[in-house]
Amino acid sequence: MSFGCFAGNLENLTDVQDAANYTFVKGDIVSASDVQKVFTEFKITDVIHLAAESHVDRSIEGPMEFVMTNVVGTVNLLQAARETWKNNESHVFHHVSTDEVYGSLSDEGLFTEQTSYDPRSPYSASKASSDHFVRAYFHTYGLPVKLSNCSNNYGSHHFPEKLIPLMINNIREKKPLPVYGKGDNIRDWLWVEDHAKAIDVIFHNGEFGESYNIGGLNEWKNIDLVLFLCRLMDKKLGRNEGESEQLITYVTDRKGHDMRYAIDATKLARELGWKPSITFEVGLENTVDWYLANSEWVEQITSGAYRAYYENMYQNR
């Protein structure tokens, strides 16, 4: 079951499009009838819910899309599951969320599953709301839910507006590298394949009604990350050392920009045996190699025609 969002791209599914256990359905998660139709037609037994609007900058410019997709869309899925599943013991509804629901950390400490919610942007507020609805359906209706909150993902096929692919593409094209404020904001980075493995283990072995934090144990200041990418790209592209660093441009910090995120994934490791499989340096080099080898994919995604198509789709849904 797949419901498209702004950063979605059907070409990302070419590797599985001919698989016997895969079906693509074009629908709108905001449409209760679309969601219910999928549950009924395909006799959906389990859900891993990842559909979301996820770009903080876009949420600041247009918060209602985030309310509709992330909150209303989630409730539509929960309601369809509740109305369709008669025996809750044989089903799983896994809701995937973000560490941004916890707000901003000071210089010390980590987000745990007991950290109070304190969202600071329309995006994180919409995800916090969806988390609360998932828990409410567990406590009120006994829906068999599991939740996870992850740190920043990175890897192949990442939408080019996100920090790492944006920097890789701009370095390649010798465009300015915009860094918010002084670049002191800190993020915990998680290899996307490690995230997928964590979702799998939580889906199969996690406890119902429980939340699990998924983090890469890997904190980086934004500016340090950009500088590392510059050095790595100079080496990959055969440029003089320090050449790409000259492209860094400091821009006005965005509103509601949280200073630091850092996940404590102890519960996930202790109870389910998950841990990150690779270092950030290795994962980042793999990511750079993928983007350099797939420049046509990036160019297509960033093209005016692609953006116009998806923006029109959202305006007319």
Q: What confidence score (pLDDT) does residue 9 get?
A: 65
296 catalytic? Reply is no
Kindly indicate the confidence band of residue 112, based on its pLDDT and cuts at 50, 70 and 90.
Answer: very high
**Sheet containing 46-49, strands listed edge to edge, beginning at the edge strand earlier in sequence:** 46-49, 92-98, 145-150, 211-214
Per-residue H/E/C for 117-136? CCCCCHHHHHHHHHHHHHHH
Q: What is residue 316's predicted lDDT score, i.e. its pLDDT? A: 39
Catalytically annotated residue among 28, 53, 65, 100: 100
The pLDDT of residue 309: 44
Q: What are phi and psi of 260, to 5 degrees?
A: -150, 135
Q: CA 267 to CA 42: how far, in whole Å?
A: 34
Find tokens 């889906």 and name the residue: 203
For the question of residue 100 being annotated catalytic, the response is yes
Pick from 84, 72, 201: which is nearest to 144 by CA?
84
Question: Catalytic residue among 28, 53, 65, 99, which?
Answer: 99
pLDDT in tens, 131-186: 999 999 999 999 999 999 999 999 998 888 889 999 999 999 999 999 999 999 99
What's the topology of domain 10-315?
Answer: Rossmann fold (3.40.50)
**The two structure tokens encoding residue 225:** 């990350």
What integer pLDDT is reported at residue 315 of this predicted model? Answer: 41
pTM assigned to the model: 0.89
If pLDDT is split at 50, 70 and 90, which confidence band does 317 have? very low
pLDDT per position as a tens digit, 206-240: 999 999 999 988 899 999 999 999 999 999 999 99
Alpha-carbon torsion 25, 27, 32, 33, what sign? negative
Which residue has tokens 């200073």? 259
Task: For residue 123, indicate whether it is catalytic.
Answer: yes
In a 3-state reduction of DSSP, which class is residue 138? helix
Catalytic residue among 123, 154, 212, 291: 123
User: How far is Cα 90 from Cα 92, in angstroms, rounded to an integer?
Assistant: 7
Please determine, for residue 305, whether its predicted confidence score (pLDDT) is greater than 70.
no
